[in-house]
């Protein structure tokens, strides 16, 4: 990985034309649960959600609690169509869907991409499980948008339109999940929020999947010294992720899916230790903008 001292900072994309835009805004970077405690505000407390702007189009990667505020922002901006792509259906990646306001507006078109599971084989059944009594007062019949459901392959490629492709790869996680590689022109960002390294075939597959990507956001839920306590839970740590990213010749690796109980101070210490080993590592922060090929 290229040696750089990377710290959270906004991207300057003002020089890019709309047709060239390829920008990711992190709207949620936590795992398991949203965090709302003193000392945890700088990195953000929302769970996994990323806004992708590609050309004049909009897509969202995962629908954790960060999608709630994002929905309000998209309505205020006048966005009329959005793709939502789910890595899997664990609560922290879908908990914001029932509160995504564009679903309840007749002037919005929403396409939900989902791989399916034995319990919820498609996006329609997933929404029916998420938005129903006794958990919520509303149900799928209350959705007013132009809603479309699309099958996300476990291993394959879909087009998000306008020259942007999203490639999927199965990863090691209880119940199944996919990693995503978003390609546009000659640049790529890899997003693997939930996976556990296996020191075997799974790692080799992930290295091939990430090969030469500009940026990779990887699951760094645990600390290296604590990982042995959680083996089999489906998550990794920064040392292993950094080694995999280096093998794949990734430009910059971002620590993602922060433990929900980790404070800003604790994340600062983890980032410092990681950067002492590999200066190109950065820690994902809510509000951070990433532009593959352009920087932060």
- In angstroms, what CA-CA distances link 203 with 179, 190, 243, 261? 12, 15, 10, 27
Global confidence as pTM: 0.93
Q: What is the CATH number of the domain that holds 194?
A: 3.60.15.10
CB 79 within 8 A of CB 46: no
Q: Report yes or no on 222 lying in a domain.
A: yes
The pLDDT tens digits along the chain (296 residues) read 443 333 444 444 445 578 789 999 999 999 999 987 777 789 999 999 999 999 999 999 999 999 999 999 999 999 999 999 999 999 999 999 999 999 999 999 999 999 999 999 999 999 999 999 999 999 999 999 999 999 999 999 999 999 999 999 999 999 999 999 999 999 999 999 999 998 899 999 999 999 999 999 999 999 999 988 888 888 899 999 999 999 999 999 999 999 999 999 999 999 999 999 999 999 999 999 999 988 65
Q: How many angstroms from the chain centroid is the CA of residue 198? A: 21
Number of folded domains that form the chain? 1
Q: How far apart are the first and last CA of the chain?
A: 16
Q: Report yes or no on 232 lying in a domain.
A: yes
Q: Report yes or no on 13 lying in a domain.
A: no
Q: Report yes or no on 9 lying in a domain.
A: no
CB 92 within 8 A of CB 32: yes
Rounded Cα gap, residues 219 and 29, in angstroms: 10
């Amino acid at each position: 990985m290229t040696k750089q001292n990377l710290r959270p900072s906004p991207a300057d994309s003002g020089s890019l034309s709309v047709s060239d835009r390829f920008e990711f805004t992190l709207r949620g970077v936590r795992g398991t649960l949203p965090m709302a405690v003193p000392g945890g505000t700088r990195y953000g407390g929302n769970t996994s959600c990323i806004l992708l702007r590609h050309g004049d189009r909009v897509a969202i990667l995962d629908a954790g609690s960060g999608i709630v505020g994002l929905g309000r922002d998209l309505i205020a901006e006048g966005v009329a169509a959005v793709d939502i792509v789910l890595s899997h259906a664990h609560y922290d990646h879908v908990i914001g869907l029932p509160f995504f306001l564009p679903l309840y507006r007749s002037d919005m078109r929403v396409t939900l991409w989902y791989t399916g599971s034995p319990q919820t084989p498609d996006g329609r059944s997933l929404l029916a499980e998420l938005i129903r009594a006794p958990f919520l007062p509303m149900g799928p019949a209350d959705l007013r948008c132009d809603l479309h459901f699309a099958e996300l392959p476990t291993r394959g490629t879909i087009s998000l339109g306008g020259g942007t492709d999203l490639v999927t790869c199965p990863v090691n996680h209880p119940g199944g999940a996919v990693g995503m590689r978003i390609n546009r022109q000659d640049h790529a960002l890899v997003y693997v929020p939930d996976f556990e390294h296996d020191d075997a075939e799974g790692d080799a597959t992930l290295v091939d999947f990430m090969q030469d990507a500009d940026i990779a956001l990887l699951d760094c839920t645990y600390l290296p010294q604590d990982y042995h306590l959680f083996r089999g839970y489906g998550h990794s740590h920064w040392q292993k992720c950094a080694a995999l990213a280096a093998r794949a010749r990734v430009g910059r690796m971002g620590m993602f899916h922060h433990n929900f109980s980790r404070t800003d101070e604790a994340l600062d210490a983890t980032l410092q230790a990681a950067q002492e080993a590999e200066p190109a590592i950065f820690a994902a922060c809510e509000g951070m903008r990433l532009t593959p090929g352009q920087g932060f």
